[in-house]
Amino acid sequence: MKQLKLIGFIFLLCFLTESLTLPTQPQDVDNFNSTQKFIEENVEYITIIAFAQYVQEATFEEMEKLVKDMVEYKDRCMADKTLPECSKLPNNVLQEKICAMEGLPQKHNFSHCCSKVGDERRLCFFYNKKADVGFLPPFPTLDPEEKCQSYESNRESLLNHFLYEVARRNPFVFAPTLLIVAAHFEEVAKSCCEEQNKVNCFQTRAIPVIQYLKAFSSYQKHVCGALLKFGTKVVHFIYIAVLSQKFPKIEFKELISLIEDISSNYDGCCEGDVVQCIRDTSKVMNHICSKQDSISSKIKECCEKKIPERGQCIINSNKDDRPKDLSLREAKFTDSENVCQERDADPDTFFAKFTFEYSRRHPDLSIPGLLRIVQIYKDLLRNCCNTENPPGCYRYAEDKFNETTEKSLKMIQQECKHFQNLGKDGLTYQYLIRLTKIAPQLSSEELVSLGEKMVTAFTTCCTLSEEFACVDNLADLVLGELCGVNENRTINPAVDHCCKTNFAFRRPCFESLKADKTYVPPPFSQDLFTFHADMCQSQNEALQRKTDRFLVNVVKLKHELTDEELQSLFTNFTNAVEKCCKAESPEVCFNEESPKIGN
């Protein structure tokens, strides 16, 4: 991989046409020249990301063969644009070439996708992606000194490997995000390799890069899951709420125009069409910056930046100030005599306007909280508009809204109180037990990861002034990850019901779940309760993950135990680890203590 010139890379990619055909209009010539330069220099990036996400099991060497094939394809088309193969969509070309690789479809079990054509093949490749990447080996790590030697001697190979490994482990992350992560990785490598204490530098500077990837991965999977399970209408309402809070002075008509651009962006990005995704992302940012005077006063500096920093900056910018003339409440939705008639005339537009007006007036509420208010209002009007006196019925809507918000607020205050009383470790164990009981069919790694992320929501938010919105937003992302992106993901009847029935009330639905009664525990295995001296050699983070996995596996095996009984068993385990790691012979100690833990 050449030096990651991602600013120019994404700028060029945004002008990539639907096919590799030469433009016919004079005004397209400059765009074509940019596209041509992109194709010559950056086709490898598209191939690495798309292939690693579509065929996660594929080896690096198999990926290199496809990169070579795609580069040769590009060269042929640049030499002779009239070739039939050069009129195809880039994503279709990529999938055809993946299918044409000898023995690859059979080896990695996607030959059923290659037997399809058109949209069916495209969606088959998408549904073949696996969110749980436990089947992959651990992320390869190099000693910082080795990493720097590799970077200095063969930067291309190191960065190619990095992008390949990150993409295959994050199959639903959008291409722009992965490219920014790769650019940050190179910045870290370049800077840290000049430092004397390379270990400390890599450890410190890698943290924000990892956090950036995790945050965007979680959000993108969340919205894509909503799109695939509930359709574009739910995504529309999510973004009406998000953008109305962020840009409270935007006009409704302008907002809807922007929402349409965003929705088309998610179609390509969620399905993994790298080219379409980046082009559409640029279109959204161009839209915002071209109308910044009427959208927000906080993004002027962002819009002066180059792509992709511009997009990053806009996403991370503060919410705009609330317009001074904006009333505390919009009376027309509760006080007007004609609410039912306005709703019936155009329901989608009516509720979109309500979401817009309510969200821009309540920047303190979470996005799930706002969507719950919208659902409450819909249900209220459904009842009220069938009564003899509709205005007398819906006049009390604000009371319903406040009641719903207060209920959610109390739940979060109680959870934050649990966190303060139990501490991070205690809350982690509580959530691992709860998640495993309601969704024991998930892998241990997945449950541990979900538990960690749920606890992170509380450790991040419970000390903030805006703890309500913060906790609710982050916890909702975790549940989105549990439910998964693919619409055909199934866990158990109760969890599936919460995941697929009502997006706005998904979290309250999960709060009411009990242990899954359909679950059949695996046969008892003493191996689960057998430990060795290597437990004592694990570093803090590794030991914590082993401890968490043990707890999850115990809950899976002894599903009928109460939380108190599980806590007692877990205490036996932690006491045994502490005792044996201090013993003269840890192995002998573990041999004596292990049989007692499960009893």
The angle at the Cα of 222, spanning 397 to 268, to the nearest 5 degrees, equals 115
Are residues 590 and 533 in contact, defined by beta-carbon separation less than 8 angstroms? yes
Cα atoms in the 13 Å half-sphere on the side-chain side of 258: 26
Give strand ranges (E) for 466-505: none
Q: Which own/partner contact pairs does 343-350 have at CB distance under 8 Å and 24+ positions apart?
A: 343/381, 343/385, 344/385, 348/233
d(CA 434, CA 563): 9
Q: How many residues appear in the chain?
A: 599
H/E run at residue 579: helix 563-582
Beta carbons within 8 Å of 504's beta carbon, 6+ residues apart: 368, 371, 372, 374, 375
d(CA 379, CA 356): 18
Q: Phi first, then psi: give them for residue 537, nearest 5 degrees.
A: -90, -10
- Whole-angstrom Cα Rg for the chain: 27
Beta carbons within 8 Å of 234's beta carbon, 6+ residues apart: 226, 227, 503
In the numeric block, the tokens 């509580």 are attached to 430
Give strand ranges (E) for 289-408: none
d(CA 419, CA 464): 14
Burial class (CB within 10 angstroms; exposed 0-12, middle 13-18, buried 19+) of 338: exposed
Token pair for residue 185? 């990785």
In the numeric block, the tokens 């910045």 are attached to 187
Are residues 590 and 532 in contact, defined by beta-carbon separation less than 8 angstroms? yes
Are residues 428 and 452 in contact, defined by beta-carbon separation less than 8 angstroms? yes
The dihedral over CA atoms of 543, 549, 555, 556, expressed in degrees to the nearest 10, equals: -160
In the numeric block, the tokens 């993946």 are attached to 98
273 in a known ligand binding site: yes
Cα atoms in the 13 Å half-sphere on the side-chain side of 346: 5
Q: Provide the angle, in degrees to the nearest 10, between the axes of the packed helices 274-290 and 90-100.
A: 160
Best CA proximity match to 44, nearest among 9, 18, 19, 11: 9
Cα atoms in the 13 Å half-sphere on the side-chain side of 63: 28
H/E run at residue 284: helix 274-290
d(CA 443, CA 471): 25
Token pair for residue 433? 């037990």
Measured over the CA atoms of residue 274, residue 278, residue 281 and residue 287, the dihedral's sign is: negative
Instruction: Tell me how far apart the 2 most distant CA atoms of the chain are, in Å.
Output: 83
Are residues 14 and 279 in contact, defined by beta-carbon separation less than 8 angstroms? yes
d(CA 479, CA 154): 41
d(CA 346, CA 344): 6
Return binding residues: 273
Return binding residues for Zn(2+): 273
